[in-house]
Amino acid sequence: MLSVPDRALAAPDKPEPRSTKRLEEVHQQVESLYRQAEAATDAYNLARGKQLAQQKTIVRIARDVARTKKEMAALKRQVGAMAAAQYRGGSVPAEWKLVLSDDPQDLMRGIDLARKGQQAARGVIGRLAQTQATLDRYADSASQEWVRLDASRSRKAAAQKLIKAKLAKAKKLESKLKKDEQERLRKLEERKARLAQEKWVGSGILDDIDGKASSAGKRAVEFATAQIGKDYVWGAEGPDTFDCSGLTLKAWAAAGRPIPRTSQEQWRQLPRVAVEDMRPGDLIIYFKDATHVGMYVGKGTIVHAPRPGRQVTLAGAGSMPILGVVRPDKTAH
C-alpha cells in the first residue's frame, strides 16, 4: 500500500456563476415576493388604521358613558328627593288634600301646583328611562367596537406574519448571490425598468402630459423629493423611513390634504384623472391590485419608496405597470 503513489486530490468545485437566465429567474422570484410583501403591507396598514380608529371610538364611548352615568346619578337623586318629600307629606294623597280644602283659592293654587308637580315627576322619570336607554346603546356600541378591534388586531397580526415571511424568503434568495451577482441583479432590475420606461415614453404619452402643479401639489412634491435617500421600511410613515404609501400620505399631509393610508385605499377613494391629464403631485397607482404608489413630479418621473433594501428615489413613471392616476386636491364639479 505504501508503494502506491498518492493521487492528487481534486480542488473543490467553485460554484458556477449564475447565468443571466438564472438571474432572471431569481429576479422574478424576488420581485414576486416583494410584491406579495407589499400587498400584505397594505393589509397591515389598513388594519392598523382601523385599529387606531376603533380605539379612539372606544375611548369616546367610555367618556360618553362616564358623562351619562353622572346624569343618571343626578336624576336618581332628584327622584329620591321627590319621593322623600311625598313621604314627609304624609299618607294622604295630594289630590285628596286639595278636595278637602276649605279655601277655593288654596284649592286652585293647589291644583296648579299638583299638575306641575306631576308633570315634573313624569319628566324626571322619562329622562331617567331615556338615560338608561342611552347607556344600553353605549354598552352595545362598545361591545361591537371591541369585536371589530379584535378582528383588526387579528388581520394586522396575520399581515405582519406574512410580510416577515415573504421578506425573509426574498432576503434568503438574495443572500445566496455573490456580490458580483447581486450587482448584476441590481443592473438587471434597472434594465427592465429602463426598457419599460422607454416603451412608455416611446408611445408619445409625454406629448399630452403638460399639466402644471397646483400650489398644494407643489408642496407635496417638495416634501416627497426632500425624502430622497431615506430607507424603505414597511409600515413606516417617516420621518426617517417610509413605505410607498407612507411617503405619499405624509407628502400630502404636508400640503394640507389628508388622504387614505394605503395605496389601495388611495386608488379606491381619491378622484381619478386620465394619465395624459396628470400633473405634478398626482399619485400614480401601480399593478392590478393597486399595491404600489408613486408621486408624479413631472417630465415622466416619479418619486417613490420602492421596496425593502432600497431608498426613496426618482424613477420613470412608466417603469412599472400603471393602473391609474388619482388627484388628492381635485375639486368636485
Whether residue 333 lies in the annotated active site:
no
Instruction: Give the largest Cα separation in the chain, rounded.
Output: 148
Q: Name, in order, each residue with C-beta under 8 angstroms of 30's C-beta and a sequence gap of 6 or more.
A: 170, 173, 174, 185
Strand partners, 314: 303
Output DSSP code: residue 260: -
Whether residue 292 lies in the annotated active site:
yes
Q: Which of 180, 183, 170, 166 is nearest to 28 (CA)?
A: 170
CA distance 301 to 67: 54
Whether residue 83 lies in the annotated active site:
no
Q: Which of 145, 293, 301, 155 is nearest to 232 (CA)?
A: 293
Selected catalytic residue, list 35, 50, 184, 304: 304
Q: Which of 251, 249, 221, 240 is nearest to 314 (CA)?
A: 221
Question: Angle at CA 292, nearest 5°, toward 288 and 293?
Answer: 115
Amino acid making up residue 286: Y
Selected catalytic residue, list 26, 37, 167, 244: 244
Q: Which of 258, 261, 241, 248 is nearest to 220 (CA)?
A: 248
CA distance 249 to 252: 6
Selected catalytic residue, list 292, 318, 327, 328: 292
Looking at the annotation, which residues are catalytic? 244, 292, 304
